[in-house]
Amino acid sequence: MIRRLTVVGLGLLGGSVAKAARERGLAREVVAVGRRLESLAAARSERVVDHVTTDLGEGLAGADFALLATPVATAEGLLPKVWQAAAEGAVITDVGSTKGPIVRCATALAPQRGLAFVGSHPMAGSELSGYGASRADLFDGALVIVTPTELTDPLAVKRVSEFWEALGCRVSAMDPEDHDRAVAAVSHLPHLAAYALVEAVVRLNPAFFGVAARGFKDTTRIAASDARVWREIFQSNRAALREALAAFRTSLEELERLVVEADGERLEMRLEEIRQLRSRLT
């Protein structure tokens, strides 16, 4: 049981954690820290949270469990302040899509005070954003990757894992750098590709959108995601994203070569191999 849970950033993810924690009675008290007074006021009047504030220090005072749910680079920037403001012995986690930078930042802060940071990445989301889109069931059955290092307190890892499990998630641990390379490939690259697919149509002829069917809509759905969130993710995971982009370019070039060479048999074999790989995912 958490005594005081402080959620910093009450958007889609922070709001969903607050709602799920309240619904499941995970914390005696839930406090929200945010910049937008409307979201905070809505959460307060819906009794999703007990206290709201725009002041980070005030919000974290006495918190034994803190969740950073702002965009990734913002969370990193807040971490030194969080380290000063949180209660002694508090456990801090986050929801960021990249883990290397914030984990390194926490490692640097660790000697200052007896707090523990464990990186978390819930693999759930939506192209929608903001508190208005948050839902108590957003994390139901989702995979959460926690990213401890060899310096992380095992008790803190246990508390964070139990927190997510109590919200209905499956938890799996990964090294922060391995995590960042993996999500660059299966999440950040597809997002960048979706943005580029939409932009390519504008570049060719915006009238072409008129014949867009379900295939285009599904493939580019994630290009309707929050621009601020994705700006910070792309920049935070720059190196791994570039590695994934290079692999993607090679794959595109090879497929284009097979199309151009009119080697129908080889092209079909390659497409069939990919189809079978993709089919295993569903």
Query: What residues from 156 to 175 belong to the interface with a second copy (CB under 8 A)?
Result: 174
Among the candidate windows 6-14, 44-52, 148-156, 213-221, which touches a second copy by CB under 8 A? 213-221
Q: Compute the least distance from the CB of residue 9 to a second copy, in Å.
A: 17
> Which residues 16-55 are close enough to bind a second copy by CB under 8 A?
none
Cα-based distances in Å from 249 to 84, 203, 242, 246, 256: 45, 19, 10, 5, 10
By the rule CB under 8 A, 279 interacts with a second copy? yes
Q: What mask, x for binding a second copy by CB under 8 A, covers residues 71 to 110? A: ----------------------------------------
Nearer to a second copy among residue 14 and residue 122 (C-beta): 122
Each residue of 176-196: b (16+ CB within 10 Å) or e? bbebbbebbbebbbebbbbbe
What's the rounded Cα separation, in Å, for the pair 103 and 72? 11
Residues in region 136-155 near a second copy by CB under 8 A: 142-143, 145
Which element (helix H / strand E) includes 202? helix 189-204
Report residue 95 as tokens.
Answer: 């929801």
Minimum distance, C-beta of residue 131 to a second copy, in the bound complex (Å) = 18
For the CB of residue 242, give the shortest distance to a second copy in the complex, in Å: 7
Is the distance from CB of 180 to CB of 240 less than 8 angstroms?
Answer: yes
Q: Where in 180-209 is the site for a second copy (CB under 8 A)?
A: 181-183, 185-187, 189-209
Burial of 31 (0-12, 13-18, 19+ CB in 10 A): buried
Q: CB of 250: closest distance to a second copy in angstroms?
A: 7
Closer CB to a second copy, residue 155 or residue 274? 274
User: Cβ(105)–Cβ(77) under 8 Å?
Assistant: no
